[in-house]
Structure 1
Amino acid sequence: MEPLDIFAWLTKEEWLAILRIGLGLWWLESVRHKDLPGFLRGDSRGWVEGLVENHPIPAFAGILKATALRSERTWVITSWMVVLGEFAAGVSITFGILTFAGLILAAFLNLNYLLLAGLKDQGEQGQNLMMILIAVVLFVTGAGQVWGVDALIF
C-alpha cells in the first residue's frame, strides 16, 4: 500500500493560489485593524517622527523628512496613500486582479515598513519579511493565473 499523499488533491498551482489568497487577506486585515479615522487624520505622525529621529539610515530618514513629514498636509496625504495602497494590494492579490502589480505594490510597502523601523528589534519585522518572501514567490511563479481574474483576462 502506498503512503497517502494528503497534498495530492490540489495541484501546485492551486496551492500557490491559496497562498496568494492568504497574502491578499493578510493585506486586507492590515487595513481593517488600523484605527482608520485616526490614521487618516495623520495621528501616527508622532510615532513615525520618533522612528525617523535617530534612524540608522540617514538617507531614508532624509527622504521621509523631505516628503511625507514635510507638512501636516503631506503627512495626511501619505497616510491616505498607505491605506489605499494596502487596500489595493489586498484586493488585487486576493482576487487575482493585475496580480503582478499588486505583488510589486505589496513588496514595496513591506520594504518601506522594514526601512522605517530600521535595524531595531521590532515585533512586526518578521511579518514584513515573510510577506516580502511570499510576494516574491508568487511573483516568480505567476500565481495569478489560477482562481483569479487574471486567468480570465490574460
Structure 2
Amino acid sequence: MDTVWLSGAEWLAVLRVGLGLWWLESWRHKDKKAWFERGSGIEWAAGIAAEHRWNAVRSGFRVVVAPRPRLMAHVVAHAELALGLGLIAGLLTPVALAGGLLLNTLYFTLMIHDWAEQGQNAMMALISVVGLFGMSWQTWSLDGALGWFG
C-alpha cells in the first residue's frame, strides 16, 4: 500500500503559503522609517530606472513613480504586506496571486540587468502561475472554507 504524505492540493497550498511568507519577509526587512519618510526604496529604484536600457521604463518611472516617492513607497510596502497576509491566510487568493505576479513582473522589468535578483522574481512569478492554475486556494484557506472561487 502506497502512503502519500500530502496530496497534490496540499502541496499547492504549501507553495501558496511559502510564497506568502516570502512576500511578508520582503515587507518585514524594509527599514520602514527610511522607506516611508524618505522614500528610500524609490530613490534606489530611480537610479536604476534612470540607467535602464528601455526608454519605456525610464519614462514610465519618471512620469508615474518619481513625482510621488512617498506615496509609491507606501503602495509597494503595503502591497507586499497584503500579498503576504492574503496568501498565507488564503484570502482572495486568486487576486493576491495575480497581484503578486504583476508586482514581480514590474520588479523583473525594472531590474532586468541584475540577473542575480531575477532568480527570486522568476521563482515567485512561477509559484504565482502554478498557484493560479492549480487553484491553490481550495485547500487550507479562508477562500476554501468560505466556498469562494469554486
Same fold (TM over 0.5): yes
Partner in structure 2 of residue 123 of structure 1: 116
User: What do the CA deviations read for 1:24-71 (whole angstroms, capped 9, x no partner)?
Assistant: 01100111111111111212333222111221111122111001102x
Corresponding residue for 2:64? 67
Amino acid at match of 2:40: D
1:21 corresponds in structure 2 to 17
Output the CA distance in 2 between the equivalents of 1:46 and 1:20. 31
Alignment equivalent of 2:142, drawn from 132, 144, 149:
149
Matching residue of 1:107: 101
Any stretches of 5+ residues in structure 2 without a counterpart?
none
User: CA–CA distance in 2 between the matches of 1:28 and 1:89?
Assistant: 8
Once residues 43 and 27 of structure 2 are traced to their aligned partners in structure 1, the CA distance between those partners, rounded to angstroms, is 20
Separation in 1, partners of 2:42, 2:6? 45
Structure 2: which amino acid aligns with 1:19? L
> For 2:49, which of 42, 49, 52 is the aligned residue?
52
Distance 2:42 2:12 in 1: 37
Distance 1:83 1:121 in 2: 21
Using structure 1 for the length normalisation, give the TM-score. 0.89
TM-score by length of 2: 0.92
Aligned pairs, number: 146
Identify the match of residue 33 of structure 1 among 16, 29, 32: 29
Looking at structure 1, the residues matched to 106 and 70 of structure 2 have their Cα atoms a distance apart, in angstroms, of 17
Letter in 2 for 1:91: L
Structure index of larger Rg: 1
**Residue of structure 1 aligned with 2:72, choices 53, 73, 78:** 78
**In 1, are the aligned partners of 2:111 and 2:117 still within 8 Å (CA)?**
no
Q: What SS does structure 2 have at the residue aligned with 1:44? A: helix
Misfit runs of 4+, over 4 Å:
none
Q: How far did 1:135 drift?
A: 0.3
TM-superposed CA distance for 1:131, in Å, is: 0.2
SS of 1:124's equivalent in the other structure is helix
